[in-house]
Amino acid sequence: MGKGEVNHTSKKRDGSSGSDLAKKKAKKIAAAKANHSSATETALYNIENKRKMPKIANKLKRGEIYTKWLAEKTKLKKELKDAKKEDAKNGITTPLTGKVQVTKTLENTREVEETLVASDDAEVLADEEDDEFAPYFSAAIKPKIMITTRPRPSQELFAFINCLMTLFPNSYFYPREDYELKDISVYARNKHFSHLIVLSEKAKVCNGMLVSHLGVPALSSGIWVDGDRKLPEEREEEEESEEEEEEEEVGDKGEDNKDDNEDSNDDSGSDSDADPDDFELPIDTELNRDPATTPPTEEKPGPTAFFRVANLVLPKKIPNKGKATSHIPEIILNNFTTRLGHRAGRFFGSLFPHEPEFKGRQAVTFHNQRDYVFVRHHRYMFEASGRKMDKGKTRAKLQELGPRFSLKMRWMLAGGFDTRFGEYEWFHKRKEFDTTRRKFHM
């Protein structure tokens, strides 16, 4: 071949190299099928050796190839699913089929807590039978709750107060005004209240809740009269009728005792000249009183806990919400597994009477997860399933009633409210407890 001539006899590229690779891969898959003892192992081998998505600069060509690649991937996944069913049907077990891939979470990688106890621990059960919450769980005493706020609350806080009064049976709201919490606690004990709830807020949003156990009252009061439940409206009607009867009796005897009353009024003096600024809230702060006038409680106050409130959603913002009724709900305390968790769970449980009215089909849930207590209020119902595949079965449905919010404990006092001299059972130390996200205390 002379100078300048072109060699037209060069080897032609016919793509034989690509087809050879495909043949080699097919041989490997066939050999793997022969070696594997189950369809599951073969399907897994096919997925592991599936070709990767090639890098193609052309957008149109890349989209076309990706569609085919995705269809092939879906097909292999379906083959794996069918292979597992086939092996299970034939009774074939392999290391691959028995292997369960568990996603690592904060819960299953949780650090071991020293105070973790079993639900049937004999020592814990013995302690709970004799603690300050035992009368509530045995339904011997029904709680009575006073709800108040910080001084000068915003208007938005009253919507949450209304929801809490619906959530907790036998709860009453008292304006805070300028009274100290210690004085309010003594006043509530004198009025047979068992619990005190104080709400705080920041930027017109509730961010804190103080819950104090004032001691076990000597008797159930409020909507509970002689062990029977009566709504406030019914009690008001009874009180009005009693007042009318008393007025009629006084009217009959008024003329006979008129002279005596005038003489006694002259001797004792009139209250009309008294200064209205001298009247105060009838709070008796003396602790050393006559036994006949001591607060009607059988035990010392305590515990007292403070919780941070977050993720508050009022019922009006919950989609497909229901309207709560006055029935006593059932209580669900879930995932309180440590000593502190058991105590907190029983604290929440003591806020409710333990004689639920199942006719109302209402349930209040306190679910602990990662030291956050999620509070939910639902109504449940059972109905026959309308699906053909579930014919003859009964389905359960839930309807949220609200409110929904979450709580995180910051500290717990052994006694009543006294942050200066009180004894702390537990206190959240941020520098000590927040070093890892995998350690939980409740």
Closest CA to 210 of 195, 222, 189: 195
Q: How far apart are CA 97 and CA 85, in angstroms?
A: 10
According to DSSP, the residues that pair with 394 across neighbouring strands are 384
Q: What is the pLDDT of residue 238?
A: 63
Among residues of the chain, what percentage have pLDDT more than 90? Answer: 45
Structural contact between residues 342 and 117, judged by C-beta atoms closer than 8 angstroms: yes
The tokens describing 65, both together, are 């190839």
Helices (H), 113-224: 122-129, 134-137, 157-167, 181-190
CA distance 349 to 390: 36
Question: What is residue 230's predicted lDDT score, i.e. its pLDDT?
Answer: 59
Which of 304, 296, 129, 139 shows the shortest CA–CA distance to 216?
296
- Report how far residue 375's alpha carbon sits from residue 354's, in angstroms, rounded to the nearest whole number: 18
The per-residue DSSP string of 60-111 comes to HHHHHHHHHHHHHHHHHHHHHHHHHHHHHHHT---HHHH---PPP-TTTTPP
CA–centroid distance for 250 within its chain:
53
Cα separation, 356 vs 331, in Å, equals 8
Question: Average pLDDT of 332-350?
Answer: 95
Hey, how many other C-beta atoms are within 10 angstroms of the C-beta on 411?
16
pLDDT band of residue 434 (cuts 50, 70, 90) is: confident
DSSP states of 224-252 as a string? EETTEE--HHHHHHHHHHHHHHHHHHHHH
Residue 313 host element (H or E): strand 304-313
Other beta carbons less than 10 A from residue 87's beta carbon: 20
Classify residue 338 by its DSSP letter: B
Asked if the peptide bond before residue 403 counts as cis, ω within 30 degrees of 0, the response is yes
* Residue 274: pLDDT over 50: no
Determine how many CB atoms are found less than 10 A away from the CB of residue 348: 20
Q: Is 354 exposed, middle or buried (0-12, 13-18, 19+ CB in 10 A)?
A: middle
Task: Please tell me the distance from the alpha carbon of residue 214 to that of residue 216, in angstroms, as a whole number.
Answer: 7
Question: How far apart (Å, rounded) are the C-alpha atoms in residues 347 and 306?
Answer: 12
Mean pLDDT of 256-272: 46
Grade residue 119 by pLDDT with cuts at 50, 70 and 90: confident
DSSP state of 351: T
**Token pair belonging to 90:** 């034939």
CA distance linking residue 403 with residue 316, whole number of Å: 9
pLDDT at 388: 72
* Beta bridge partner(s), residue 395: 383
Q: Which of 171-199 are b and which e, b meaning 16 or more Cβ less than 10 Å from the residue's Cβ?
A: bbbbebeebebeebbbbbbbbbbbbbbbb
**Res 267 pLDDT > 80:** no
What distance, in Å, lies between the first and last C-alpha atoms of the chain?
91
Query: pTM score > 0.75 for this model?
Result: no
Average pLDDT, the chain: 80
Confidence of residue 412 (pLDDT cuts 50, 70, 90): very high
Angle at 65 between CA 60 and CA 71, to 5 degrees: 130
- Do 418 and 407 touch, CB atoms closer than 8 A? no
Most confident of 17-21, 95-99, 145-149, 391-395: 145-149
372 in Cβ contact with 406 (< 8 Å): yes
Residue 17 pLDDT more than 60?
no
Interatomic CA distance for residues 285 and 187, integer angstroms: 8
Q: What is the mean pLDDT of residues 78-107?
A: 72
Which residue has tokens 């009024």?
Answer: 265
pLDDT above 60 for 219 = yes
217 within 8 A of 193, measured Cβ to Cβ: yes
Q: Which of 30-39, 241-250, 300-309 has the highest mean pLDDT?
A: 300-309
217: nearest Cα among 129, 293, 136, 131: 136
Q: What is the pLDDT of residue 246?
A: 66
* Lowest-confidence region among 257-266, 296-305, 414-423: 257-266
- What is the pLDDT confidence band of residue 224, given thresholds at 50, 70 and 90? confident
Report whether pLDDT(269) > 90: no
